[in-house]
Amino acid sequence: MKEIEDFLTGRIWLKEFTPFPKNEIDEAIAQGLIACIPGISEKQECSRCLEKSAHLISFYCEKCEGDCLYCRHCLKMGRISSCTELITWAAPSPRPLKTRSFQWSGRLTPSQNLASQQVIESIQNNRSHLIYAVCGAGKTEVLFAPIYEALKKGDRICIAAPRTDVVLELSPRIRAVFPEAVVHTLYGGSRDEPGFAEIVIATTHQLYRFQNAFDLMVVDEADAFPYSMDPALKRAVMKAKKPEAPVVYVSATPSARLLKETPGRSEIFRRYHGQPLPVPRFDSLWNYNKQLKKKTIPKKLETWVRLRISRQEPFLLFFPTIDLIDQNIPLFKELDVGIEAVHSKDPNRKEKVMALRQGKIPGLLTSTILERGITIPKVQVAVIGAEEEIFDAAALIQISGRTGRAADFPTGDIVFFHNGITREMDRAKKTIIAYNRKTIS
Amino acid sequence: MQASWRSLFMNDLNEAVCTKCKAEFESITGNACLYCGALEDGVCRDCLYWEQTEYAGLITKGQCLYRYNAAMQTYFHQYKFLQDVILSEVFAKEVQHALAKVEAVIVPIPMNPKKLKERTFAQVDAMLESARLPYKHLLTKNEDVQGKKTKTERMASTPLFQWNGEAVPKKVILVDDLYTTGTTMRHAAKVLKAAGAEEIELFCLIRG
Ligand SMILES: [Zn+2]
Ligand SMILES: [Zn+2]
Ligand SMILES: [Zn+2]
Ligand SMILES: [Zn+2]
């Protein structure tokens, strides 16, 4: 029963799909230890993802022998319908406090330290907080002390991020710093881990499966797709935490709304190594589309790529569409056969990024999927078609933030190749310059 | 009700099956197996086998609309196993076009009643209803043992269906979603033939 309690505490799970034998679940229900929740609530809302009736589909159901509603929004986690039940542990028993150590030998910069203290203070006051910190500021380290404080109190903590890549990068770092804490890492296709997780590191999608679970909620990359665009994911974050629990948002490019609505705030406009952010430069690449269609790489771009290859500097070429990447990868392979391409649907993405980091391949053509979460020492970056709509100021700032992250190589070329300068390009550049100025003052 | 349901659905459908996905479905055109629509000239290997068994001569001809490529596997998984009922609409037009003019009575391959309760919907019936085609059930399915057996065991195993006792017309067309080895169709055809059907065709959305 202990195993079931550990698993179901704070979770809301399809009754038919638990990892436990059916008779044990039924017995716990009979004893009142597990509560059952109808899949579709009386308010005609999906109990797991809180999707409203307008997006629920009605059909004649052979199980209900009548009209039944099912939710398409969270379908891939197992279908929720009027005739399915969700279960949760009804009355979790109190958990004894355990000593938890904190193993980190690094040192915070003064601005990281200040932010860290401010976050702790906000949490003490149950107030939500935004860590507004430039790319490469060392945001994760800022979270260590607040998480440690929460752990000592016996709080349950969730660190959520919109993308699996970010979750996978966070997980080993958190586990290393809190070696005795039970940490679970959840994303689409992850395996169940044993025990009661004091720290859950999860994609925002996985939070559909939690309810009233966390005393502290951290949302990393709070401006990233799909979280930023999907109200259901925002609801999932709010549903997964306890009602009074504060949320700590972390972002390098927060939306105006997030800035306005979050009461607590810390700003870090200085990178952890103290060097300014590389400022993007603009370079025209008139009618690059026409030239690419004729199977020639525009001269300026070719020169830029050749220079990187001859200097053995790893590079990223950001393209606006997957189609453009697919069409042009053969052209770039003529410059160097080692050049590869990645996009969101590429199963080998991780391996290719690793190969670039290890110097096994010279460069990558990529969609905006690599705008966040990756650090490659010495990397040089070019955006092709920076005027395209997909490259808004936030995306361009994130992309620029890939350069100069390592303390040994704090600079790097970041060029926006364009077919006309947009307001978003201007905004990105001006914002980065402003960050660097605040650093000086 | 019907109209608003449909228009709501079209919005939802655009998400589920965008035009790019739809372009990836591969329809079967040109030379195909006379009996089952496999992409082989004349008669395919599976059907050649069947025509040497006690099931020979049961089926006069047949057609399958699509190949079971990656896009179709994704679709089929979401429709049948994730129970995304609304996806019955995706091929409504194509199924309508293929079956609207046939004279034969459409007979869907049924599900076992217990299985049907679990699945909550009959995916073949739903596909036909979305295509606005009338159909008649003439068979009942015995408990499922298929998954546990090998292909050859399955081809020879005990009857999968029983006649439900309703009047059997002379011409019938058996309809299923996915055709793999042909066992289902041959077993169904045999039962219908014994119950009085004279001409039996088959139709499947997908040829595995
Ligand atoms: Zn839902
Ligand atoms: Zn139902
Ligand atoms: Zn699609
Ligand atoms: Zn055949």
Helix (H) / strand (E) element for A200: namely strand A199-203
Question: Burial of A103 by CB count in 10 Å (0-12 exposed, 13-18 middle, 19+ buried)?
Answer: exposed
In angstroms, the CA A165 to CA A170 distance is 9
Contact A57 B86 (CB under 8 A): yes
**Does residue B164 form part of some domain?**
yes
**Does residue A273 form part of some domain?**
no
**Mean pLDDT value across residues A191-214:** 96
Cβ pair A325, A341 in contact under 8 A: yes
Residue A314 sits in the same domain as residue A407: yes
**Does residue A174 form part of some domain?**
yes
**Which chain A residues are within 8 Å of B89, Cβ to Cβ?**
none
Nearest to A398 by CA among A343, A338, A316, A340: A316
**Which chain A residues are within 8 Å of B119, Cβ to Cβ?**
62
Residue A247 sits in the same domain as residue A118: yes
DSSP A243: T
Residue A124 sits in the same domain as residue A16: no
**Does residue B155 form part of some domain?**
yes
Q: How many domains does chain B contain in total?
A: 1
Residue A147 sits in the same domain as residue A35: no
**Does residue B156 form part of some domain?**
yes
**Does residue A258 form part of some domain?**
yes
DSSP A370: G
Q: Is the pTM of this model over 0.90?
A: no
Say how many C-beta atoms besides its own lie within 10 A of residue A64's C-beta: 15
Query: Residue A302: which domain range?
Result: 281-440
Size of interface A-B (CB pairs under 8 A): 42
**Does residue A96 form part of some domain?**
no
Kindly give the residue spans of alpha helices, DSSP state H, lying in A266-321. Answer: 288-293, 299-311
Task: Give the chain B residue nearest A82 (alpha carbons).
Answer: B120
Among the candidates A205, A234, A268, a domain finishes at: A268
Residue A299 sits in the same domain as residue A232: no
Task: Give the chain A residue nearest B117 (alpha carbons).
Answer: A63
A440: pLDDT strictly greater than 70? no
Residue A302 sits in the same domain as residue A420: yes
Choice between A250 and A441, residue whose per-residue pLDDT is larger: A250
CA of A78 to nearest chain B CA: how many angstroms apart? 6
**Does residue A373 form part of some domain?**
yes
- pLDDT > 70: percent of chain B: 84
**Mean pLDDT value across residues A376-396:** 96
Residue A146 sits in the same domain as residue A286: no
**Does residue B48 form part of some domain?**
no
**Does residue A105 form part of some domain?**
no
Which amino acid is residue B175, in one-letter code? V
**Does residue B56 form part of some domain?**
no
A89: pLDDT strictly greater than 80? yes
Query: Residue B94: which domain range?
Result: 17-29+63-207
CATH number for position B133: 3.40.50
Say how many C-beta atoms besides its own lie within 10 A of residue A96's C-beta: 6
Spell out, as residue ranges, where chain B has pLDDT lower than 70.
1-20, 144-157
CB proximity list for B79: less than 8 A, separation 6 or greater: B85, B87, B88, B90, B123
- Ligand at minimal distance from the CA of A39 is 1
Q: How many domains does chain A contain in total?
A: 3
Which pLDDT tens digit goes with each residue over A105-150? 999 999 999 999 999 999 999 999 999 999 999 999 999 999 999 9
CA torsion sign for A401, A403, A406, A408 is: negative
Q: How far is the CA of A68 from the centre of ligand 2 (A)?
A: 5
Of A58, A61, A72, the CB nearest to B120: A61
Residue A149 sits in the same domain as residue A239: yes
**Does residue B132 form part of some domain?**
yes
Q: How far is the CA of A84 from the centre of ligand 2 (A)?
A: 7
Of A58, A61, A78, the CB nearest to B121: A61
**Does residue A275 form part of some domain?**
no
Residue A247 sits in the same domain as residue A141: yes
